[in-house]
Structure 1
Amino acid sequence: MKQRKLIIVGASGFADIAQEYFEADSPYSVVGFAVESAFLTGDTKNGLPLVPFESMTEHFSPADHDVFVAVTYTQLNRLRARLTQQAKANGYRLASYISTRAFVWPNARIGEHCFIFEDNTVQPFVSIGNDVILWSGNHIGHHSSLGDHCFISSHVVISGFCHIGENSFLGVNSTLANNLTIGKDNWIGPGIVLTQNTEDGALYGAEMPSPSRVSSLRFFKVKA
């Protein structure tokens, strides 16, 4: 039986995904959506009320509803952080989701307003801050810590004794060696392997490989 009513802030694909996960695998029942009025394009989403974020309390009482802000890494996670903080200031309790198909060691510490997808491994003595997103299939090594408002995409390996600074983004298949400190506001692109500490505000963008002059059809001797 569902125990709490949930409002999802956002109307993107992540909002759809969050609704699906909360409904299928949590005590929450999603009863509505909210977006900032400048981005309001209708009054319903997925058959539920869609209201302006600025007047959300007039439609959904903070006493009876919790909030999850389904925003990805826009503005280096600052948009999600701002909306989360405003919802909390308006009296809402912030919801978290931890998949029943994730492996989270019992002594791991997890902050408020986190979303942990399936197939994540969170090892012993890990500390995860507030408003952290772990997309599917990551490894968070023992004794590591993630600062507030981080976004860890998919199949990221964070080895043991690492610290990730707040507001950072780690791209798909990126890898951190043991005992690293990643500065705040870092952008680590897909497939990047780090073996040294980074400064605040560092950007590591993955290089796009150039295509061969020989087409795939010609290489494999396939007729178009």
Structure 2
Amino acid sequence: MDLTEIRGKYTTKALDIEHLDKNPFKQFEIWFKDAINEEVSEPNAMILATVGKDMMPSVRAVLLKTFDESGFVFFTNYKSKKAAQIKENPNAAALFSWIDMERQVKIEGSVEKISTADSLKYFLSRPKGSQIGAWVSHQSSIITSRGLLEQKFDEIKRKFSKGEVPFPDFWGGYIIKPLRIEFWQGGQDRLHDRFLYEKDEKGSWTITRLAP
């Protein structure tokens, strides 16, 4: 299939350095709020890339659940493939692709588990169905049918029908602590605007423009 004739036209106004906040987390918050206001579908969906000891990259979409100047937090099963790769290589990259707004944000940094207390706090905020789902799925393991998942879900639902769903010790959050954050704005004739924030040894952020 020849896809060479599929061409998007970028029409957004140019982005310049004076348009950016000096703090990349504040700049991310500005763009994230824009994505919400523009009713972007799943604005907190980010593509997460990890690499284990076999050096084979793996990529998937996860949901950002909180962020501040410490980093970007998502939740998963600690026995999943992504968790195994993070254990082997605690570095990752994430991408927010808000194509309808002609924007992307790329994050690169180290990854570590958040505290059990913070994972528990978020777990308790989830709908009961999602709490049960965390118990049901041995994420990334091979299964023979969806019916087995549904059967297991019904079993767990009955088991915890009269009380709170307990917090699973194999589930929780990770935080990406960025070293680099890039903001990409689409431009006419493929002259996109790209600005890279990099953290120096003193913990301060520098901003440079990159060629498209």
TM-score by length of 2: 0.23
Structure with more helix by fraction: 2
More strand, by proportion: 2
Greater relative contact order (Cα < 8 A, sep 6+): 2
